[in-house]
């Protein structure tokens, strides 16, 4: 863990299925360096990073010869852990974020609360089960592990669309923008934004 004042974190996770090194900065410039072995996921993470104005580096090796599941899941775990660590004591943050993003035919909304109570509400139906070689069911898997490990309450609502690529793209852009809003520092907030005094 590196966080606190500079709001960055580095995560290293090695299992029999994956080997992942990830570095995340909340207050970035939208720069990403991604080697995931899963091209569609790399594309989505790049969009998330750019729209959230974060910095993200991922170096991942996984058993993609079997399928993408373990790699996608474990990157979600690592990113969630990195966001949580980078937030540090959470003092001064806005806490809540809400973003609507249109992408051609599709419209996605992500609403989140940095609550320390992990939950994913996922309302998305796609016209196709795959985008290229990427199974759409892995979007849920990624987001659930991200919400769980970041200990955030994340609501994803895909309002409509008919192109699966566009629909997932809108979700990841909205996730970046909602997280950018929730992690922003507000000078009016003294301590943590909770009547409990703890997040």
Q: Could you give the C-alpha distances from 125 to 6, 43, 101, 110, 151, in angstroms and in order?
A: 38, 20, 17, 15, 25
Mean pLDDT within 149-173:
98
Confidence grade of residue 2 (pLDDT, cut at 50, 70, 90): very low
Helices (H), the chain: 39-52, 69-87, 137-150, 164-183
What pTM does this model have? Answer: 0.94
pLDDT tens digit sequence for 48-85:
999 999 999 999 999 999 999 999 999 999 999 999 99
| Mean pLDDT confidence for 118-132 | 97
Q: Is the pLDDT of residue 3 over 70?
A: no
Quote the CA–CA distance of 150 and 114 in Å, as a whole number. 8
- Whole-number percent of the chain with pLDDT over 90: 91
Of residues 173 and 190, more confidence is placed in 173
CA atoms within 13 A on the CB side of 107: 3
The Cα–Cα gap between 161 and 126 comes to 8
Taking the C-alpha atoms of residue 71 and residue 36, their distance in angstroms, rounded to an integer, is 8
Tokens of 97: 């974020």
Instruction: Please report the pLDDT score of residue 1 as a whole number.
Output: 39
Alpha-carbon gap, residue 148 to 135, rounded angstroms? 21
Residues 6+ apart with CB under 8 A from 150: 79, 80, 81, 83, 84, 114, 118
């Amino acid at each position: 863990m590196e966080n606190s004042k500079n709001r960055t974190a580095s995560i290293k996770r090695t299992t029999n299925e994956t080997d992942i090194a990830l570095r995340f900065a909340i207050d970035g410039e939208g720069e990403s360096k991604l080697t995931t072995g899963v091209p569609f996921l790399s594309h989505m993470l790049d969009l998330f990073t750019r729209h959230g104005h974060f910095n993200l580096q991922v170096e991942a090796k996984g058993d993609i010869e079997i399928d993408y599941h373990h790699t996608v899941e474990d990157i979600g775990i690592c990113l969630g852990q990195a966001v949580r660590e980078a937030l540090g004591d959470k003092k001064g943050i806005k806490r809540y974020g809400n973003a609507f993003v249109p992408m051609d035919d599709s419209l996605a909304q992500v609403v989140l609360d940095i609550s320390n109570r992990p939950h994913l509400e996922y309302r998305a139906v796609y016209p196709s089960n795959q985008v290229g070689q990427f199974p759409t069911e892995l979007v849920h898997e990624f987001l659930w592990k991200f919400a769980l490990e970041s200990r955030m309450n994340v609501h994803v609502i895909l309002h409509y669309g008919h192109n699966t690529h566009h629909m997932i793209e809108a979700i990841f852009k909205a996730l970046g923008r909602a997280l950018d809003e929730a992690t922003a520092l507000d000078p009016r907030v003294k301590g943590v934004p909770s009547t409990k005094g703890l997040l």
